[in-house]
Amino acid sequence: MQQPKNRKLVLESGEVFEGYGFGANTEKVLELVFNTSMVGYQEIVSDPSYTDQAVVMTYPLIGNYGVNEDDYETQTPSIGALVVREYNDEPSNFRASDNLQNIMKKYGISGIYGVDTRAITRIIRNRGSLKSLITFIDKPLSECMEILERTALPKDAVSRVSSTGIWKADIITPQSALLEHRQGTHAGLRPHIVAIDCGMKQNILRSLLERGCRVTVVPYNTPAKVIMSLRPNGVFISNGPGDPMDVPECIDTIRSIKGNVPIFGICLGHQILSLAYGAKTYKLKFGHRGGNHPVKDILTDKIEITSQNHSYAVDTDSIEGTKLKVTHINLLDNTVEGVACDEDLAFSVQYHPESAPGPQDSSYLFDRFMDNVRKAREQRKENAYA
């Protein structure tokens, strides 16, 4: 016998969707967005970029392959909630070490299933991202609407997911060890990358380590003077949640660093780099979230299938007059997906090359960063003997 519905999702526009609760039994006001990925719910739940958001999964069945210890993007997930059509609490997968609900309960993540996710997605697509409330079935609608009206979405998401101190990720992976063996290098000669953590995904860190880097991770608000004192061969700006204008400290840091060391930014890092060069950003109607967005690399004329997760984009017209040039465009809506300043060996992309879309379409971007790092090291060596 079907249990009675016990949870509901209330949108600021007045729609109500009744369903069943799973995960944490909490009430939250969150920004409602949708993701079109068919797989990868563990990576989505553990992606810090989803902080304070309720994510509607357009793929109807979630939870069927469980979760495992290897696929987390952060060890402390901060997503607000998950909204799904059908939830499976009995996963079938040899890699599964737990089910999704237990992880959501552990980290205070609300969930609701049994709702019409197609209808919710259409509402978001037509009206844009909305404030929403996941609450209990018996709470009066008038009270729900009052909560939504008086509750503002937080602006401090990056500060809550960034590292609290400077730490080293100098782990030699099998790939980097093989690279050292082939090149005859050792740890002291491996390129040193300072990664500015705005909510960095673990697979970004793995991608840098696999290319033989030593990585020092610093908080989002680390001053340029401190970063340069670490003597980096390159600086990486990570992904993260929210509006890039909410982290002016990081923008100022990049503004001071650019031209002194190669820079690579992903997602929020792309927006921060663009702002540092004088471009502007704006909020998209409903954002880009999914694993199948086509992006054209203007430099090579190739099209990549990309993984995306962002609410903001760089204004195309604002790039004119800066030192940046557009390198990638989104073929769905012609938004800017990549910029570069060749003179400063700085570039960034709006999408996630570490998320294995394609699955290898975009991994060359990390190699491009390493090429810039090697080029800068060679130039410094030449200048030292000049």
Helix runs in the chain, H state only: 41-45, 100-106, 117-127, 141-150, 157-161, 174-183, 202-209, 224-229, 248-257, 268-276, 316-319, 364-385
3-state class (DSSP) for residue 366: helix
pLDDT for res 382: 57
| DSSP string for 213-261 | -EEEEEETT--HHHHHHT--SEEEE---SS-GGG-HHHHHHHHHHTTTS
pLDDT tens-digit profile, the chain (386 residues): 578 999 999 999 999 999 999 999 999 999 999 999 999 999 999 999 999 999 999 999 999 999 999 999 998 999 999 999 999 999 999 999 999 999 999 999 999 999 999 999 999 999 999 999 999 999 999 999 999 999 999 999 999 999 999 999 975 554 444 444 444 444 457 899 999 999 999 999 999 999 999 999 999 999 999 999 999 999 999 999 999 999 999 999 999 999 999 999 999 999 999 999 999 999 999 999 999 999 999 989 999 999 999 999 999 999 999 999 999 999 999 999 999 999 999 999 999 999 877 777 888 999 999 999 999 998 887 565 44
pLDDT for res 355: 84
Q: Place domain 158-385 in its CATH homologous superfamily.
A: Class I glutamine amidotransferase (GATase) domain (3.40.50.880)
Domain boundaries, the chain: 7-154, 158-385
Active-site amino acid positions: 267, 352, 354
d(CA 221, CA 218): 8
The residues with which 171 forms a beta bridge, in sequence order, are none
CB proximity list for 280: less than 8 A, separation 6 or greater: 314, 315, 318
Q: In CATH terms, is domain 7-154 a member of 3.50.30.20?
A: yes
3-state class (DSSP) for residue 352: coil
Q: Which of 118, 120, 98 is nearest to 9 (CA)?
A: 120
Q: Which of 352, 93, 36, 78 is nearest to 203 (CA)?
A: 352
